[in-house]
Structure formats: C-alpha cells, structure tokens
Amino acid sequence: MKLLILTNKLPYPPRDGGSIASLNMMTGLFEAGNQITCLALNTAKHPYPPEQIPQELREKILFLGVDCDCSIKAWQLGSNLLFSRTPYIAERFNIQTFRIALTELLQKEPFDIIQLEGPYMGLYLDLIRSVSKAKVALRAHNVEHLLWQRNARHERSLPKKWYLNNMARRLERLELEVAGRADLLIPISDWDASYFTKQGLQKPFLTIPAGLDMEDYPFTELPAAQDIFFIGALDWLPNQEGLLWFIRKVFPLLLAELPGLRFHVAGRNASRQIRKRLIHPGITYHGELRDAVGFMQAHRLMVAPLLAGSGIRIKIIEAMALGRPVVTTSAGIEGIEHRDHPLVAVEDDPYLFSSQIVKLLSDPRSQDRALREARTFISRNFDTFELSKRLSRYYKTVV
C-alpha cells in the first residue's frame, strides 16, 4: 500500500514523545511492506533540513518538508479569539504553502491511506477530499482538549484559566469534527478510544499504542547514585505544570528525607519561569539533549509528575524499557497498564509521591528482577514493529 503521513512538524530528530511515536510507526509500516511518504510542516520553531535525515531512514521513508513560520503571534492570537471558532493552537498550522505542496503531491501521486498525525492536520480535510480518493485515518496521539481542560483546573490566574478553558472548548469542537469526518480512527490508547465512542462516533477504529524499537533501549544496571530525573519538552504545557508542581510540592519533602538528593532535569525551551525554579543547589538543568537514552541510563529513577493526561507518555515506556523505576501520577500513567509492576508507582498526593520515591531509592530488594520484568512487559506490548504490522493488516482490510 501507499501511505501518506501528514504531520505538523518533521518527526526527526526523534527527541520528544510525538516525534518518537510518529517516526517509529512510519518505520514499522515500511518494514510491514508499505511505501511511506511523510509530508510535514518544517516549522521555524523546530526546523530540520530533510536532506540531513540519515540516509538509511530516507531509503525507507520519503520525507518532504514545507518551510513555514507557525510561531505564536500576539495580533493573530487576538484576532483569532475575536473572529474565529477554530482554536489558535491549531489555526496557526493552516499554511497556504503547505496547501500548495499537498495539492501538488496528491495530484501527482495516488495514495491508499492518508494518515493525519493529530487533529490539527484535519484543517486540510477539505483539500484532501477534493483531490484524493484515499481513505483518511486520524491517528489521535491523545485527546488534546482534555489536556487544556485539566491544566485550566490547576491554573490559579483567572485570565489564564479563562483562556485555557476557551481553547479547550474550541479544541473539543475541532477534535470531534475531524474525528467525525475521517474514515478511520487510530487512537493511541483504549482510554482515548472509549472517549470517542462515548461521544457517539460510530466508525471503524483500531487502538495502536505508541511503540519502541527495543534495540534502541538496551537494559543497563541501575547506577549507584541515588538521584532522580525528569525529561520532557518544557514548551509543552502539561510538562511545565507538572514540573512546577513537583518542585513546589514534592521536592522539599524529598530533601527533608534525603538531603543529598540530586534532581536532574532535561528538556528544550524552558521558559523564564521554569528556569528560575530550576536554580537550586539540588537541581541540575541539562537543557535539550542529543542523547536522551544515555541521560536516562545515567540516572536512577524517573519522575513523571503530570497533572493532565491523555494518550501515552512515551518517556515512561522508554524508562521502563531501559530498566528504570518510575514514579508518576494517575494522569501520567493513562494508557499504560501498570498494576503488575512494583517499580512503577502512581500517586497524586505530594506526600505519597515523595514517599514512593524514597522507598524505591532505599529498597534495592528484587529490583533487578522487577526491572527486567518491566522491560519484558514493554517488549510484549509496545514493540513498534508488531504494532505496525497490526496497523498495516488493518489498513489492508479497509482499502
């Protein structure tokens, strides 16, 4: 089959959860015997020359990037609030040069499946329908509006709370509209699938989690140092809110129990507010990483303190694959079955969150076996090549 994947940024380099999920699925679909083209917005915020993507990847996937500036502009944001029903967070990806490139590609190449990586690419559905007869699949990496809605709940500033709720309502309308117009739904978790079903969307769907190539995640022994780490894009609102909650509410409790504890934080585009909070003798900020796997291998325990969740947190399954204990929240663990894994702790209360970290750092009993079992669980349930083969077989039944 010939598949076209539309993304709002090039999925290379794969340093964040969305890029990892997209690139691994594309690679897996190629290995399953399909011809893959990726047409992406090559944004000013995350620019990357497609010709610099490694040759071995470009032999599997045809990467086409359309240079554009999708950065947030105050006057556009204000105009959007006053005159548009489309959320600005999505509307800024509606780019004329991308429309031209997509039109030319669809006129030149027939595709069997066009896969939208998230609802923002649904802004091009009218164009797709007018030019192509391909089936359109929406791959929902999460239920986006719920992230905004949950962040609004935790926001103390009234103007910001109003804005977050406003965007959540607009995103909900957009997500349901795109999901309703797509031919197929490919949610990333059973929870997300149930959400769309509860909204009355009666259409074919297949749940396909984000997957990993296990060869990229070798199991290593736990380092001796009793330190903890956080890794995630710091220009993503749920990560910002969760990290600030952890630093304010949990980290002081940890230092009272473990005065010498070191907290290592990695992530791109930290705001001034975040950077200010990271100035602490017990915290080391590493910025954006070239080697996320090496960073996780170098430290002992991951914290994933998310207050808003949907989809699957890729970094958690990466940590489990590498054999690292994880302490997270109920929002962070959504989409990952964790009950049988004693080294994945889930707590929403700051005191209990802190006590779980202390316990996992202090009790080495049976950790090696439990960590290997966690890795086996990831291999069995999140192997990208097995997941891609399942999706490929499904696509063949509908074209």
pTM of the model: 0.88
Query: Can you say whether the dihedral through the CA atoms of 221, 225, 228, 232 is positive or negative?
Result: negative
Q: Are 28 and 393 in contact (CB under 8 A)?
A: no
For residue 40, list its beta bridge partners: 7, 65
Tell me the pLDDT band of 179, cut-offs 50, 70 and 90: very high
Q: Are 282 and 308 in contact (CB under 8 A)?
A: no
Helix (H), strand (E), coil (C) string for 236-295: CHHHHHHHHHHHHHHHHHHHHHCCCCCEEEECCCCCHHHHHHCCCCCEEECCCCCCHHHH
pLDDT at 364: 62
**100-145: per-residue pLDDT in tens?**
999 999 999 999 999 999 999 999 999 999 999 999 999 998 888 8
Burial string for 149-168 (b: 16+ CB within 10 Å, else e) reads bbbbeebeeeeeeebbbebb
Tell me the pLDDT band of 83, cut-offs 50, 70 and 90: confident
Q: How far apart are CA 344 and CA 377, in angstroms?
A: 12
Q: How far apart are CA 114 and CA 40, in angstroms?
A: 13
Residue 149 vs residues 92, 145, 241: alpha-carbon distances, Å: 20, 6, 13
pLDDT at 144: 81
Q: What is the mean pLDDT of residues 260-276?
A: 93
Q: How far apart are CA 4 and CA 35, in angstroms?
A: 9
Label residue 125 exposed, middle or buried (CB < 10 Å: 0-12, 13-18, 19+). middle
Q: Are 328 and 345 in contact (CB under 8 A)?
A: yes
Q: How far apart are CA 226 and CA 361, in angstroms?
A: 6
Round the average pLDDT of the chain to a whole number and report it: 91
Which of 181-185, 201-205, 261-265 has the lowest average pLDDT?
201-205
**19-74: per-residue pLDDT in tens?**
888 999 999 999 999 999 999 999 887 789 999 999 999 999 999 999 998 888 88
pLDDT higher than threshold 80 for residue 366: no
pLDDT at 339: 61
Q: Are 344 and 315 in contact (CB under 8 A)?
A: no
pLDDT at 311: 66
Q: How far apart are CA 150 and CA 309, in angstroms?
A: 8
**315-353: per-residue pLDDT in tens?**
999 999 998 999 999 988 887 876 667 778 999 999 999
Which of 98-107, 241-250, 344-353, 357-366 has the lowest average pLDDT?
357-366
Tell me the pLDDT band of 77, cut-offs 50, 70 and 90: confident
306 or 265: which leads in pLDDT: 265
Q: How far apart are CA 12 and CA 128, in angstroms?
A: 24
Q: Are 311 and 332 in contact (CB under 8 A)?
A: no
191 or 6: which leads in pLDDT: 6
264 or 159: which leads in pLDDT: 264
φ and ψ at residue 53, rounded to 5 degrees: -65, 140
pLDDT higher than threshold 90 for residue 293: yes
Domains, the chain, with CATH or none: 2-211+383-398 (3.40.50.2000), 215-381 (3.40.50.2000)
Of residues 211, 274, 250, the one with CA closest to residue 329: 250
What's the helix, strand, coil split of the chain in %, to 5? Answer: 50, 15, 35
Q: How far apart are CA 156 and CA 152, in angstroms?
A: 8
Q: What is the mean pLDDT of residues 149-164?
A: 83
